[in-house]
Amino acid sequence: MKIKLLALYVFLSALCFGQNQIYINQITTTGTTTLVQTGSVNKIGSSGVPSEITSDNLSFEMRQVGDNNEANFSMIGNNLTLKSITTGNSNNLKMFTNGANNDIDLTFTGNSNTFLLNKEAIVNSADKATTVDGDVKFVVTGNSNVMKVGIDDGKYNKLDYTITGSSNTLTTTQKSNPSGNAAGSGHSQVVTVLGSSNTMNFQQAGIEKQTLTYNLTGSFNTVSIQQGTTAANLTPFP
């Protein structure tokens, strides 16, 4: 086992009250890490460079409580369990993943928060996250939040979202290499929206079976759903 940590130990609880920054570089084969930041204008990452977690069989929990906080993560490995809880307003979480059998559980409570799951540290990158047999779940409670999820070269993945509030925007893309002809074996999404004036954009493409379960309760919502056999069938969202 090799562990390299910068400004972080295997177990860390940092109670902070503003303008604190932690950069993480962790390489290990197993373990449990907990990180807590409390306050405003805190950052996990360094000047736009993602904190790096390269590991297998790691359990990582992160909590940010406050406003205008930022977290920027690159996670590479298998059998990873990530739990992230963001409470407050105008927070920004970016995550770039590559691996298999990973479980990502995210909770956002507040307004005007943003979340990105991708592979490159570029908001509109065409190079999506590469995941296999993964579960991505997040729960959003609040208004005017923006959530973007992009997965490429993925199979057996399940995306499960619950959004409660108004004027939120959710964009999800899954494409390439699904496999299997049963629900949950190719591309799968389960979405529940409770609120009004939300904008939902869903894309899925691949030669095997794709499933999307969409539950909506509310008014003045805008929904776009695209499914096709190849990525060429998809029209980029504005």
pLDDT (0 to 100) of residue 110: 97
Write down the pLDDT at residue 16. 41
Three-class HEC string of 5-65? CCCCCCCCCCCCCCCCEECCEEEECCEEEEEEEECCCCEECECCECEEEEECCEEEEEEEE
**Strand pairing partners for 172?**
149, 202
215 contacts 193 by C-beta, under 8 angstroms: yes
Q: For the chain, which ranges sit under pLDDT 70?
A: 1-18, 46-49, 119-131, 153-155, 176-186, 208, 231-238
Give the model's pLDDT for residue 221.
Answer: 92
Q: Which pLDDT belongs to residue 181?
A: 54
Q: Would you tell me how many other CB atoms lie within 10 Å of the CB of residue 206? A: 21
Instruction: Give me the chain's average pLDDT, please.
Output: 79
> If you ran DSSP here, which 8-state letter would residue 235 be given?
P
Q: What's residue 25's pLDDT?
A: 81
The phi-psi region of residue 184 (left if phi > 0; otherwise alpha if psi is between -120 and 50; otherwise beta) is: left
Residue 231, φ and ψ in degrees, nearest 5: -60, -25
CA-CA distance, 88 to 110, in Å (whole number)? 5
Measured between alpha carbons, how far is 146 from 144 in angstroms, rounded to an integer? 7
CA-CA-CA-CA torsion sign (37, 166, 145, 221): positive
CA 127 to chain centre: 15
The whole-number pLDDT of residue 182 equals: 56
How does 86-95 read in b/e, with b if 16+ C-beta sit within 10 Å?
bbbbbbbbbb
Please report where in the chains the tokens 């400004």 appear, as a residue: 7
Burial of 59 (0-12, 13-18, 19+ CB in 10 A): middle
Identify the pLDDT of residue 121.
39
Q: CA separation (Å) from 152 to 135, 223, 227? A: 14, 22, 14
Rg for the chain, CA atoms, rounded:
17
pLDDT of 2: 38
Q: What is the pLDDT of residues 108-155, one digit of tens each?
A: 999 999 998 875 434 445 454 566 777 889 899 999 999 988 877 666
CB-side neighbour CA atoms (13 Å) of 13: 0
Integer Cα distance of 16 and 27 in angstroms: 25
